[in-house]
A and B are shown apart, each in its own frame.
Chain A
Amino acid sequence: GAGVSQSPSNKVTEKGKDVELRCDPISGHTALYWYRQSLGQGLEFLIYFQGNSAPDKSGLPSDRFSAERTGGSVSTLTIQRTQQEDSAVYLCASSSSQGKWDIQYFGAGTRLSVL
């Protein structure tokens, strides 16, 4: 694929339900990032993967949020017991980490609406 792919593009769920968001990075990119963008706001960092490990999880807002990455490729962000304040666009980015100055390329995001 040419770019970062995210699915679903839209997700509507009821408060209290669990959701899974998927990110497929650019082939060969070892670094993967999750960000959250609330309406009219900037992007807020959630978690960073290098390969399958997550050296930085400092942005996860609560223990309801978790993420994993398998095979150094696809990542899944899981939100348990969703709350209305979880409504946002969840963006994934990947980079090659070939050097210090790797550019992050973003996916189109998953728009999550919690009713």
Chain B
Amino acid sequence: GENVEQHPSTLSVQEGDSAVIKCTYSDSASNYFPWYKQELGKRPQLIIDIRSNVGEKKDQRIAVTLNKTAKHFSLHITETQPEDSAVYFCAASRRDTGRRALTFGSGTRLQVQP
């Protein structure tokens, strides 16, 4: 089955700096890669996703890149703000099979210092 590795497990940055979180996956057939943000005690919320037919996607201060050959994808947050502090999870799935479940990374705790 799919295995997703996520690094780093914790990340502390100064407000205004950039943050980068990296994930690798094992199943070359995976073709959907969402990122979820989970604030303390809250539900995971989708912040951005990328499909295997594109290499990069951007939404304001957030961008995701995908390298299918190397089987890794990354989340980039620019101009970080204290409200970006949360745990971020990457995930992967194969959307064209009967198993649409997401395989998640172990999470990155991002702390943005004011």
Interface residues of A (CB under 8 A from B): 4, 31, 33, 35, 40-45, 48, 50, 55-56, 58-59, 91, 95, 97, 100-109
Stretch in B13-21, B38-46, B55-63, B74-82 with 4+ CB within 8 Å of A: B38-46
B89 touches A43 (CB 8 A): yes
Question: Is B65 part of the binding interface, using a Cβ–Cβ cutoff of 8 Å?
Answer: no
Closest CB in chain A relative to B81 CB, distance in Å: 23
User: Out of B95, B99, B104, which one reaches A43, CB within 8 Å?
Assistant: B104
Q: How large is the interface on B (under 10, 10 to 19, 20 to 34, 35 or more residues)?
A: 20 to 34
Closest to B103 in A: A45
With A41-B107, A42-B104 as known contacts, state yes or no: A56 contacts B43, CB within 8 Å: no
Closest CB in chain B relative to A25 CB, distance in Å: 13
Question: Is B96 part of the binding interface, using a Cβ–Cβ cutoff of 8 Å?
Answer: yes
Question: Given A58-B99, A91-B44, list of 10 further CB < 8 A pairs?
Answer: A35-B102, A41-B106, A42-B105, A56-B99, A91-B43, A95-B100, A100-B96, A102-B95, A106-B44, A108-B42
